């Protein structure tokens, strides 16, 4: 109990600690965080102001008389503030849409690292295309996790021979990654709070998501769309390595095969 009080107190009195956002390890995260904090401060200010007015309105009494409603009073108390809100929210929306467009309207650069992410009850699998830079064909009928083929890669397709399947997502820092999200069974939510990304993986669709990790470290990949009884433990690690460490990892894994 005292620990929660501690946290509450530090949250109340230490401005740097208030929002407790996890560290940001992505290129686009700084702008997103700035916009988020701007929003949070604005709504905190508006909420405080509205509550002050509410309290002042009921506490500071004056003679009871008609709250006479004239056109000028309605304009002053209702329409002017509304015009202000319209401008404020339009401005915030414009900023937000520009950030959204930056990260979503266009796909990844052609040089981006290609990784396929597959969600299934209750695990994430990550597939790298190998030397030929092409993912092999997958067939739902060939799914056989027990035999080491959790994604159903078709052995008849030569592109699949060098595909590398991993249970952790390993990425080089400073290079854009183009994730292709798929789900085998039900909808899953691919989320990496420290990379400030989230995107559902939907059965029957391949959805692209791209970002650039900048900060080496180990981060949490969560499932954020209720997917069944094991939803809470459907997670994996994202390991961001330096470019040379990543090349080394890839080399070792490729020489070891796809297990």
Footprint (CB under 8 A) of other proteins, residues 229-258: 229-233, 235-238
Give which of 166, 135, 122 is closest to 256, Cα–Cα: 166
Which is closer to other proteins, CB of 130 or CB of 169? 169
| Helix, strand and coil percent figures for the chain, each rounded to 5 | 40, 25, 35
- Selected binder of other proteins within 34, 86, 242, 251 (CB under 8 A): 86
Residues 204-223 that bind other proteins (CB under 8 A): 204-205, 207, 218-223
Residues 162-201 that bind other proteins (CB under 8 A): 184-187, 189, 191, 193, 196-200
87 binding other proteins? (CB under 8 A): no
203 binding other proteins? (CB under 8 A): yes
Pair 259, 148: CB distance under 8 Å:
yes
User: Which ranges of 14-79 does DSSP label H, i.e. alpha helix?
Assistant: 29-59, 71-74
- Selected binder of other proteins within 100, 155, 156, 248 (CB under 8 A): 100
67 binding other proteins? (CB under 8 A): yes
Residues in the chain: 259
Instruction: Fill in the per-residue mask, 119 to 158: x = in contact with other proteins (CB under 8 A), - = not in contact.
Output: -xx------------------xx-x--------x------
d(CA 120, CA 219): 20
64 binding other proteins? (CB under 8 A): yes
d(CA 13, CA 253): 48
d(CA 170, CA 177): 11
Q: What are φ and ψ of residue 77, in 5° steps?
A: -90, -25
Smallest separation, CB 250 to other proteins (Å): 21
1 binding other proteins? (CB under 8 A): yes
């Amino acid at each position: 109990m005292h620990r929660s009080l501690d946290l509450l107190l530090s949250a109340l009195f230490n401005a740097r600690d208030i929002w407790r956002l996890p560290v940001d390890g992505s290129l686009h995260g700084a702008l997103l965080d700035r916009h988020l904090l701007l929003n949070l401060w604005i709504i905190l200010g508006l909420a405080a102001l509205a509550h002050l007015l509410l309290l002042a309105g009921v506490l500071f009494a004056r003679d009871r008389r008609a709250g006479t409603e004239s056109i000028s009073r309605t304009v002053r108390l209702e329409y002017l503030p509304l015009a202000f809100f319209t401008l404020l929210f339009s401005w915030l929306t414009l900023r937000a849409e520009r950030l959204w467009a930056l990260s979503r309207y266009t796909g990844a650069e052609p040089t981006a690292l290609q990784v396929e992410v597959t969600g299934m009850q209750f695990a994430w699998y990550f597939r790298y295309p190998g030397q030929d830079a092409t993912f092999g064909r997958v067939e739902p009928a060939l799914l056989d996790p027990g035999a080491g083929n959790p994604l159903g890669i078709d052995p008849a397709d030569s592109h699949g021979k060098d595909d590398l399947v991993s249970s952790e997502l390993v990425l080089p820092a400073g290079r854009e990654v183009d994730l292709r999200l798929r789900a085998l069974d039900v909808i899953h939510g691919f989320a990496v709070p420290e990379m400030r990304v989230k995107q559902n993986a939907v059965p029957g669709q391949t959805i692209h998501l791209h970002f650039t990790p900048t900060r080496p470290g180990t981060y949490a990949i969560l499932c954020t769309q209720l997917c069944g009884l094991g939803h809470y433990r459907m997670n994996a690690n994202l390991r961001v390595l330096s470019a040379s460490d990543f090349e080394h990892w890839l080399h070792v894994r490729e020489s070891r095969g796809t297990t």
